[in-house]
Amino acid sequence: MQPFIDVAVSPTYGHLTARIIWRVLPGYEKGVFFILKSPNGVTNWRQIGFVNARTDFEDKDLLPVGKFIETYYKVVLQWGTEQFASDPIGTFGKLTREEFCAARYILSLESRVMKQFTRVAAFQIASSKPCPFCTDPDTNQKIGISLCEHCYSTGHDGGYRPGMWTYMRLLQEAPRAKVDSPDGAGTSEPTNYKVHMLAFPGLSKDDLLVDPATDRRYLVDLTTVSMFKGKIPIVMTADLQLLRRNDIRYKLPLDIEKS
């Protein structure tokens, strides 16, 4: 069975960088993926990196020959003793060269503007596998109030991936409503925010944002992404909840990838 459903390429905010994103059948996302690159999509494949239990990779050496020409990628999944390879896909993915260049220009403008605002680290949920320490083995649901330092209350094995730098701009603070406190100590008034952000890295519900300057930590709720040509994520708005200082996620070490 071929586990790869789709592979896509899109420009990112770095200078001459691209992001390779793939979708696989459920369960296979926990494998080890090797990313290969070729000048023609047929021969001279070379490995440029690998990721573990992750379905995206950023090529920071998009154009080593100095020309805006098309090169090709494929992803190889190591699953136990078996290997599966995706179909090759070109630098421009499903865009034309002109569309790819336009998207890259828009991304560079957005990045330049957003760098005036708050620099934060984005921590994505590590995997879809249930935490072996605080989830019910039959239902895969979290058991009670999670103080688990293996998953940091996510209910997912490993908790969070290493953080990636991005930027956010506060749009508004949402009205407060009293809710039951997660620690059972009565009610609390969570502080909710709506922010404007770059769309890379992509964020999902229960991902974590950290402002290292203040160590304020925000839980992601809803996100809305604006796309170029319906294909390339450019910017997004996100609803965030400021976590209380006694939340277990304040114990998460700030392991952040270099820019």
* pLDDT at 188 exceeding the cut of 70: no
Cα torsion through 168, 172, 178, 182, rounded to 10:
0
Which residues does 126 contact at the CB level (< 8 Å), separation at least 6? Answer: 53, 154, 156, 157, 158, 159, 160, 161
Integer Cα distance of 147 and 159 in angstroms: 12
* pLDDT at 123 exceeding the cut of 90: yes
Confidence of residue 248 (pLDDT cuts 50, 70, 90): very high
Mean pLDDT of 102-115: 92
* pLDDT at 176 exceeding the cut of 80: no
Residue-level pLDDT at 65: 54
| pTM for this entry | 0.79
- In the block, tokens 């330049």 appear at 112
Mean pLDDT of the chain: 86
4-94 is a CATH 2.60.40.10 domain: yes
Q: What is the pLDDT of residues 193-229, one digit of tens each?
A: 999 999 988 899 999 999 999 999 999 999 999 999 8
- In one-letter notation, the amino acid at residue 27 is G
Residue-level pLDDT at 93: 84
Integer Cα distance of 153 and 85 in angstroms: 35
Span(s) in the chain for CATH 2.40.10: 118-125+160-251
Identify the CATH class of 118-125+160-251. mainly beta
Q: Which two tokens stand for residue 251?
A: 């114990």
